[in-house]
Amino acid sequence: MIEKKAKMQVLIHLLAWIIFFGFPLLFMVESGEREYVRYWIYIVNTAIYIAVFYLNYNWLIQRYLFTKQINRFIWINVLMIALLSVMFFYLKEFEIHRFMPQQPPLQLKILFYFRDISFILLMVGLSVAVKMTGNWYRIEAIHKEAERAQYEAELKNLKSQLNPHFLFNTLNNIYSLVIVRPEKAQEAIHRLSNLLRYALYENNANFVPLDKELKFIESYIELMSLRLSRNVQLSTEIKGGNPVDQIAPMLFISVIENAFKHGVSPTEPSFIHIDIEAKTGQELVCTVENSYFPKTETDRSGSGIGHENLLKRLDLLYPGKYQLTAENRGATYFVELVIAF
């Protein structure tokens, strides 16, 4: 990619100078000696302008201007302009003596002289502008590459936190089943193996087909429901799931597992309502409402990183395209996550 850009840059410079050299030929109405000599003088002048441009572009700007040696940069260009002005003066004198029968007015000579100096100054300014612009784009590209690398590293780090967190919470649920309902524990372990296969392999991608993710959520809810007692009311409704749509994997797991963690009481009536609706090509809305039984300080199950992890992943993957609402409504807890495709 870099080599291709460099070749394109050389081609643009080459075409620009070809146009610059060839432009006067379009206005040559005669083919005599005078026209050709004047054209070759123009070629010499233009070659000097090119030399000034590339001397600054390839060396002086990088050597002095970018290293904050501005005074040296200015004085070198002043000296160069003074020397070239003498050369231009003698070239103009040659043209005048060769092709003009009488000397032009002094004012006209001064005008020619300052015209040539102005063109040299223009070449210096143009080289600075082009070099500074190219350098700005290069720095921006480096910054974007650094930001992309940081983004990938942070996202990878969040994913590496997610899998152990998911496994830890699920194993806690299976552990409780082993004590009270061992036959259900065996079924849970089998279901967990299928879920882990998805979590370990599909989670490597930034985005997965939406229908796969929704099936994973359904399987996870079924696994978590194995430990629920009869005094827990669980209702789920998952609609949509077009395989054309893509979604980041395991975004909703922390919301759902928190509902099972904080919404279930072993002694009191409890409920968990999960509603996920995917509108093809538009948005996905996940609503979770549950009875609220906050854990005590001594209960550290789940490590508590799920919500923070979710927010960081949403900021990285869906900046400005999501809305997360989480409200403690006294005896209930309500969470709504809306993601625009």
37-84 residue pLDDT tens: 666 777 777 788 888 888 888 888 888 888 888 888 888 888 888 888
Per-residue pLDDT, 235: 93
Per-residue pLDDT, 273: 95
Please give the model's pTM, rounded to 2 decimal places. Answer: 0.53
Per-residue pLDDT, 35: 63
Per-residue pLDDT, 302: 46
Measured N-to-C along each axis, helices 33-55 and 2-22 cross at an angle, to the nearest 10 degrees, of: 150
Dihedral sign for Cα atoms in the order 297, 298, 299, 303: positive
Does residue 96 surpass a pLDDT of 50?
yes
Beta-carbon contacts of 196 under 8 Å, excluding residues fewer than 6 positions away, are: 167
Per-residue pLDDT, 303: 46
- Residue percentage of the chain with pLDDT more than 70: 67
Among residues 248, 341, 324, 327, the alpha carbon closest in space to that of 286 is found at: 324
Does residue 123 surpass a pLDDT of 50?
yes
Report which of residues 75 and 4 the model is more confident about: 75
How far apart are alpha carbons 153 and 164 in whole angstroms? 18
Instruction: Determine the residue type at 266.
Output: P
Report which of residues 177 and 245 the model is more confident about: 245
Which of the given ranges, 157-166, 180-189, 191-200, 317-326, has the highest pLDDT on average? 317-326
Give the CA distances from residue 126 to residues 35, 129, 139, in Å, rounded to whole numbers and listed in that order: 29, 5, 20
The rounded mean pLDDT for the chain is 76
Residues 206, 248 contacting (CB under 8 angstroms): yes
